[in-house]
Amino acid sequence: MACFSSLFLLLAVATVLVAASAAANFYQDFDVTWGDGRGKILNNGDLLTLSLDKASGSGFQSKNEYLFGKIDMQLKLVPGNSAGTVTAYYLSSKGANWDEIDFEFLGNLSGDPYILHTNVFSQGKGNREQQFHLWFDPAADFHTYSILWNPQRIIFSVDGTPIREFKNMESNGIPFPKNQPMRIYSSLWNADDWATRGGLVKTDWSNAPFTASYRGFNANACVWTNGKSSCSAAASTTPDSSSAEWLSEEMDTTGQERLKWAQKNYMIYNYCADNKRFPQGIPQECSLS
Protein backbone atom coordinates (compact mmCIF):
# COMPACT_ATOMS: atom_id res chain seq x y z
CA MET A 1 0.00 0.00 0.00
CA ALA A 2 2.85 2.33 0.89
CA CYS A 3 4.52 1.60 -2.45
CA PHE A 4 1.27 2.35 -4.27
CA SER A 5 0.88 5.63 -2.35
CA SER A 6 4.46 6.62 -3.16
CA LEU A 7 3.98 5.78 -6.84
CA PHE A 8 0.74 7.76 -6.92
CA LEU A 9 2.49 10.75 -5.32
CA LEU A 10 5.34 10.59 -7.82
CA LEU A 11 2.91 10.41 -10.73
CA ALA A 12 0.94 13.36 -9.32
CA VAL A 13 4.10 15.45 -8.93
CA ALA A 14 5.23 14.53 -12.44
CA THR A 15 1.84 15.52 -13.83
CA VAL A 16 2.04 18.89 -12.11
CA LEU A 17 5.56 19.47 -13.39
CA VAL A 18 4.58 18.56 -16.96
CA ALA A 19 1.57 20.86 -16.78
CA ALA A 20 3.69 23.70 -15.39
CA SER A 21 6.36 23.32 -18.05
CA ALA A 22 3.72 23.14 -20.77
CA ALA A 23 2.17 26.34 -19.49
CA ALA A 24 5.50 28.15 -19.92
CA ASN A 25 6.48 26.69 -23.29
CA PHE A 26 6.94 29.38 -25.92
CA TYR A 27 6.46 26.93 -28.79
CA GLN A 28 3.02 26.13 -27.44
CA ASP A 29 1.90 29.62 -26.44
CA PHE A 30 3.48 32.07 -28.91
CA ASP A 31 4.37 32.71 -32.54
CA VAL A 32 7.33 34.84 -33.64
CA THR A 33 5.54 37.07 -36.14
CA TRP A 34 8.22 39.32 -37.62
CA GLY A 35 11.94 40.00 -37.73
CA ASP A 36 13.20 37.54 -40.34
CA GLY A 37 14.90 35.21 -37.86
CA ARG A 38 15.71 37.84 -35.24
CA GLY A 39 13.13 36.38 -32.86
CA LYS A 40 14.14 32.94 -31.57
CA ILE A 41 12.64 30.30 -29.31
CA LEU A 42 15.43 28.42 -27.50
CA ASN A 43 16.10 25.85 -24.77
CA ASN A 44 13.27 23.52 -25.82
CA GLY A 45 10.76 26.36 -25.60
CA ASP A 46 11.77 27.73 -22.20
CA LEU A 47 13.42 30.90 -23.54
CA LEU A 48 12.54 33.44 -26.22
CA THR A 49 14.83 36.20 -27.45
CA LEU A 50 14.15 39.23 -29.63
CA SER A 51 16.93 41.08 -31.43
CA LEU A 52 17.25 44.44 -33.12
CA ASP A 53 19.83 45.58 -35.66
CA LYS A 54 19.90 48.45 -38.13
CA ALA A 55 17.84 46.49 -40.68
CA SER A 56 14.98 45.36 -38.44
CA GLY A 57 13.61 44.63 -35.02
CA SER A 58 11.46 41.61 -34.14
CA GLY A 59 8.31 40.59 -32.34
CA PHE A 60 5.98 37.83 -31.21
CA GLN A 61 2.35 37.35 -30.24
CA SER A 62 0.31 34.84 -28.28
CA LYS A 63 -1.55 32.08 -30.06
CA ASN A 64 -4.50 32.64 -27.71
CA GLU A 65 -6.76 35.63 -27.18
CA TYR A 66 -7.76 36.43 -23.61
CA LEU A 67 -10.71 38.21 -22.05
CA PHE A 68 -9.41 38.88 -18.53
CA GLY A 69 -6.43 37.24 -16.94
CA LYS A 70 -3.50 37.35 -14.57
CA ILE A 71 -0.44 37.26 -16.80
CA ASP A 72 3.21 37.06 -15.79
CA MET A 73 6.32 37.27 -17.94
CA GLN A 74 9.97 37.41 -16.90
CA LEU A 75 12.05 39.81 -19.00
CA LYS A 76 15.73 40.67 -19.13
CA LEU A 77 16.15 43.89 -21.08
CA VAL A 78 18.81 45.06 -23.51
CA PRO A 79 22.02 45.62 -21.49
CA GLY A 80 24.58 48.41 -21.82
CA ASN A 81 23.86 51.35 -24.08
CA SER A 82 20.23 50.71 -25.00
CA ALA A 83 19.43 54.33 -25.93
CA GLY A 84 16.91 54.61 -28.76
CA THR A 85 15.50 51.11 -28.28
CA VAL A 86 12.05 50.21 -27.02
CA THR A 87 10.99 46.83 -25.68
CA ALA A 88 7.20 46.69 -25.69
CA TYR A 89 5.18 44.04 -23.85
CA TYR A 90 1.43 44.51 -23.94
CA LEU A 91 -2.10 43.21 -24.40
CA SER A 92 -4.10 44.55 -27.35
CA SER A 93 -7.27 43.93 -29.32
CA LYS A 94 -7.78 44.89 -32.96
CA GLY A 95 -9.84 47.51 -34.77
CA ALA A 96 -10.33 51.28 -34.68
CA ASN A 97 -11.73 51.22 -31.13
CA TRP A 98 -9.14 48.86 -29.68
CA ASP A 99 -8.29 48.18 -26.04
CA GLU A 100 -4.69 47.95 -24.87
CA ILE A 101 -2.69 47.49 -21.66
CA ASP A 102 0.96 48.53 -22.06
CA PHE A 103 4.37 47.95 -20.57
CA GLU A 104 7.06 49.71 -22.61
CA PHE A 105 10.71 49.87 -21.61
CA LEU A 106 12.55 52.90 -22.98
CA GLY A 107 16.29 52.34 -23.32
CA ASN A 108 18.97 54.71 -22.11
CA LEU A 109 22.70 55.37 -22.14
CA SER A 110 24.90 53.05 -20.10
CA GLY A 111 24.58 53.92 -16.43
CA ASP A 112 21.33 55.82 -16.87
CA PRO A 113 18.10 54.12 -15.81
CA TYR A 114 15.51 52.56 -18.06
CA ILE A 115 12.11 54.22 -18.11
CA LEU A 116 9.12 51.92 -17.64
CA HIS A 117 6.21 53.46 -19.55
CA THR A 118 2.64 52.26 -18.84
CA ASN A 119 -0.60 53.11 -20.58
CA VAL A 120 -4.23 51.94 -20.76
CA PHE A 121 -6.36 52.30 -23.90
CA SER A 122 -10.11 51.76 -23.85
CA GLN A 123 -12.18 51.99 -27.03
CA GLY A 124 -9.25 53.55 -28.87
CA LYS A 125 -8.55 56.25 -26.27
CA GLY A 126 -5.23 56.25 -24.43
CA ASN A 127 -3.26 59.25 -23.16
CA ARG A 128 -3.09 57.66 -19.70
CA GLU A 129 0.67 57.46 -19.34
CA GLN A 130 2.46 56.81 -16.09
CA GLN A 131 6.24 56.35 -16.12
CA PHE A 132 8.60 54.86 -13.58
CA HIS A 133 12.22 54.20 -12.86
CA LEU A 134 12.89 50.78 -11.35
CA TRP A 135 14.59 49.91 -8.08
CA PHE A 136 16.99 47.50 -9.82
CA ASP A 137 18.84 47.13 -13.11
CA PRO A 138 16.31 45.43 -15.42
CA ALA A 139 19.05 44.39 -17.85
CA ALA A 140 21.19 42.55 -15.28
CA ASP A 141 18.77 39.70 -14.66
CA PHE A 142 15.23 38.47 -15.26
CA HIS A 143 12.38 40.20 -13.43
CA THR A 144 8.67 39.45 -13.46
CA TYR A 145 6.25 41.95 -15.03
CA SER A 146 2.59 41.18 -14.38
CA ILE A 147 -0.81 42.39 -15.51
CA LEU A 148 -3.92 41.60 -13.51
CA TRP A 149 -6.96 42.36 -15.67
CA ASN A 150 -10.38 41.56 -14.29
CA PRO A 151 -13.79 43.21 -14.67
CA GLN A 152 -13.12 45.57 -11.75
CA ARG A 153 -9.53 46.74 -12.27
CA ILE A 154 -6.18 46.54 -14.02
CA ILE A 155 -3.08 46.26 -11.83
CA PHE A 156 0.48 46.54 -13.17
CA SER A 157 3.08 44.83 -10.96
CA VAL A 158 6.86 44.37 -10.98
CA ASP A 159 8.27 41.41 -9.05
CA GLY A 160 4.98 41.25 -7.16
CA THR A 161 4.97 44.94 -6.22
CA PRO A 162 1.98 46.86 -7.61
CA ILE A 163 3.02 50.07 -9.37
CA ARG A 164 -0.27 51.15 -10.96
CA GLU A 165 -4.00 50.50 -10.70
CA PHE A 166 -6.67 51.52 -13.22
CA LYS A 167 -10.16 50.91 -11.86
CA ASN A 168 -13.38 50.26 -13.73
CA MET A 169 -15.25 53.58 -13.52
CA GLU A 170 -17.86 52.89 -16.21
CA SER A 171 -20.56 54.10 -13.84
CA ASN A 172 -19.01 57.55 -14.31
CA GLY A 173 -18.94 57.26 -18.10
CA ILE A 174 -15.27 56.25 -18.39
CA PRO A 175 -14.74 53.31 -20.79
CA PHE A 176 -13.02 50.22 -19.39
CA PRO A 177 -11.53 47.32 -21.37
CA LYS A 178 -13.96 44.47 -20.78
CA ASN A 179 -15.60 43.38 -24.04
CA GLN A 180 -12.74 42.88 -26.50
CA PRO A 181 -10.46 39.85 -26.23
CA MET A 182 -6.77 40.71 -26.45
CA ARG A 183 -3.60 38.93 -27.48
CA ILE A 184 -0.23 39.31 -25.81
CA TYR A 185 2.34 41.05 -27.99
CA SER A 186 5.97 41.95 -27.56
CA SER A 187 8.47 43.68 -29.82
CA LEU A 188 11.95 45.16 -29.77
CA TRP A 189 12.34 48.08 -32.15
CA ASN A 190 14.18 51.29 -32.90
CA ALA A 191 12.42 54.43 -31.69
CA ASP A 192 15.31 56.86 -31.48
CA ASP A 193 13.13 59.67 -32.82
CA TRP A 194 11.45 59.88 -29.38
CA ALA A 195 12.41 57.11 -26.92
CA THR A 196 15.47 58.56 -25.17
CA ARG A 197 15.39 62.17 -23.97
CA GLY A 198 12.72 63.03 -26.50
CA GLY A 199 14.85 61.79 -29.40
CA LEU A 200 17.99 63.72 -28.55
CA VAL A 201 19.98 60.52 -27.98
CA LYS A 202 20.15 58.25 -31.00
CA THR A 203 20.71 54.51 -31.26
CA ASP A 204 24.39 53.56 -31.39
CA TRP A 205 24.37 50.81 -34.01
CA SER A 206 27.94 49.82 -33.19
CA ASN A 207 26.39 48.02 -30.18
CA ALA A 208 23.99 46.00 -32.34
CA PRO A 209 22.52 43.47 -32.25
CA PHE A 210 20.47 44.46 -29.21
CA THR A 211 18.76 41.54 -27.47
CA ALA A 212 15.92 41.20 -24.93
CA SER A 213 15.11 37.83 -23.34
CA TYR A 214 11.89 36.27 -22.06
CA ARG A 215 11.08 33.29 -19.88
CA GLY A 216 8.63 32.14 -17.18
CA PHE A 217 5.40 32.99 -18.99
CA ASN A 218 2.29 32.14 -17.00
CA ALA A 219 -1.34 32.96 -17.71
CA ASN A 220 -4.23 32.31 -15.36
CA ALA A 221 -6.70 33.64 -17.85
CA CYS A 222 -9.96 33.29 -19.71
CA VAL A 223 -9.09 32.03 -23.19
CA TRP A 224 -11.42 33.35 -25.90
CA THR A 225 -12.21 30.84 -28.62
CA ASN A 226 -14.97 31.02 -31.27
CA GLY A 227 -16.83 33.74 -29.38
CA LYS A 228 -16.76 31.90 -26.04
CA SER A 229 -14.73 32.27 -22.86
CA SER A 230 -13.09 29.29 -21.19
CA CYS A 231 -14.05 30.83 -17.85
CA SER A 232 -17.78 30.57 -18.60
CA ALA A 233 -17.53 26.79 -18.86
CA ALA A 234 -15.27 26.55 -15.81
CA ALA A 235 -17.59 28.70 -13.71
CA SER A 236 -20.58 26.47 -14.48
CA THR A 237 -18.74 23.33 -13.34
CA THR A 238 -16.50 24.66 -10.56
CA PRO A 239 -18.11 27.83 -9.20
CA ASP A 240 -15.90 27.86 -6.09
CA SER A 241 -12.62 27.10 -7.84
CA SER A 242 -9.70 28.96 -6.26
CA SER A 243 -8.00 29.02 -9.67
CA ALA A 244 -10.27 31.88 -10.70
CA GLU A 245 -9.78 34.01 -7.58
CA TRP A 246 -7.98 36.57 -9.74
CA LEU A 247 -11.32 37.36 -11.44
CA SER A 248 -12.34 39.31 -8.33
CA GLU A 249 -8.88 40.02 -6.91
CA GLU A 250 -8.09 43.40 -5.44
CA MET A 251 -5.18 44.84 -3.50
CA ASP A 252 -5.04 44.15 0.20
CA THR A 253 -3.60 46.65 2.69
CA THR A 254 -0.06 45.44 2.06
CA GLY A 255 -0.51 45.81 -1.70
CA GLN A 256 -1.86 49.33 -1.29
CA GLU A 257 1.14 50.30 0.85
CA ARG A 258 3.56 48.86 -1.71
CA LEU A 259 1.76 50.75 -4.47
CA LYS A 260 2.14 54.00 -2.53
CA TRP A 261 5.84 53.23 -1.96
CA ALA A 262 6.49 52.58 -5.65
CA GLN A 263 4.63 55.67 -6.80
CA LYS A 264 6.19 57.94 -4.19
CA ASN A 265 9.76 56.82 -4.85
CA TYR A 266 9.87 55.74 -8.48
CA MET A 267 7.09 57.41 -10.49
CA ILE A 268 8.61 60.08 -12.74
CA TYR A 269 5.54 61.04 -14.81
CA ASN A 270 1.81 60.92 -14.11
CA TYR A 271 -0.65 62.22 -16.68
CA CYS A 272 -3.02 63.03 -13.82
CA ALA A 273 -0.57 65.65 -12.55
CA ASP A 274 0.18 67.21 -15.96
CA ASN A 275 -1.90 70.37 -15.84
CA LYS A 276 -0.05 71.91 -18.80
CA ARG A 277 -1.07 69.00 -20.98
CA PHE A 278 -4.71 69.26 -19.90
CA PRO A 279 -5.43 73.00 -19.57
CA GLN A 280 -9.17 72.33 -19.64
CA GLY A 281 -8.82 70.09 -16.59
CA ILE A 282 -7.30 66.69 -15.88
CA PRO A 283 -9.16 63.59 -17.13
CA GLN A 284 -12.16 62.63 -15.06
CA GLU A 285 -10.72 59.31 -13.83
CA CYS A 286 -7.86 61.19 -12.15
CA SER A 287 -10.17 62.93 -9.72
CA LEU A 288 -12.17 59.76 -9.06
CA SER A 289 -9.40 57.25 -8.44
% of the chain with per-residue pLDDT over 90: 84
**How many whole angstroms from its chain centre is CA 244?**
19
Q: Which of 65, 104, 165, 285 is catalytic?
A: 104
Identify whether 170 is a catalytic site residue.
Answer: no
Annotation says 100 is catalytic: yes
Catalytic option among 65, 100, 165, 285:
100
Question: Which secondary structure element, helix H or strand E, spans residue 3, and what is its range?
Answer: helix 2-23
Q: Which tens digits make up the pLDDT trace of 147-159?
A: 999 999 999 999 9
CA end-to-end span of the chain, whole Å?
59
Residues 23-47 have a mean pLDDT of 94
Does the reported pTM lie above 0.85?
Answer: yes
pLDDT at 289: 75
Query: How large is the average pLDDT for residues 167-175?
Result: 96
